[in-house]
Amino acid sequence: MYETEGFNTVFRQMTPLAEITELNIGSRPASRTTSDRIDDLRAIPWVFSWAQARVMLPGWYGVGQALKAFADQTLLREMVAAWPFFRSTLDNMEMVLAKSDMAIAERYLTLVEDRALGSRIFNRIRDGWSAAHEGLLSITQQTRLLEKNPVLDASIRLRLPYIDPLNLLQVELLKRHRAGEHDARVREGIQLSINAVATALRNSG
């Protein structure tokens, strides 16, 4: 995905990366160099940015294609049952998928200036999410995410109705900020929304 033309632009415009780097939340700068290459970006802002936009891309991208390409699906199901490391890895991905929301993520897509480019990249992201979702359900033999983890399922479902409006508010504030609105309340609102979404998702990066 890194090599896809325009991906870096879409990532930086779709997520609140620039606004996150302004926060005083780390001892080191977001990037290792002065370049804007994704390869030079540190892990925390990379993961944190995708989490804010409810994409959670680093937690699942590519897994769906890998599961589908694996010839022995029966073996994968046996591995889930018998190999704790594999099971734990899938559990983590399942949690991330449950907290992601492609409908909310599509609202962040409106922040991308080149709509055609944004749609092209986002379609790949959404297809990858669907592949990861379907692949995980297939090998864990569930009909929906977190079906076998009702406690975590209830916890996430309880919080989502409060998180979604925060995301929508954040998108609107980001539009105003990037359009040049200099009201200090807009910047403060963005910072508060970033903190609130991270706290509610319990995935800070």
**Residue ranges of the domains in the chain?**
7-201
The whole-number pLDDT of residue 131 equals 98
The whole-number pLDDT of residue 40 equals 77
Mean pLDDT for the stretch of residues 25-35: 56
Percent of the chain with pLDDT over 90: 83
Q: Does the CA dihedral 47-49-50-54 come out positive or negative? A: positive
CA atoms within 13 A on the CB side of 111: 28
pTM of the model: 0.90
Q: Which pLDDT band holds residue 161 (cuts at 50, 70, 90)?
A: very high
Q: Is 155 exposed, middle or buried (0-12, 13-18, 19+ CB in 10 A)?
A: middle
The whole-number pLDDT of residue 22 equals 83
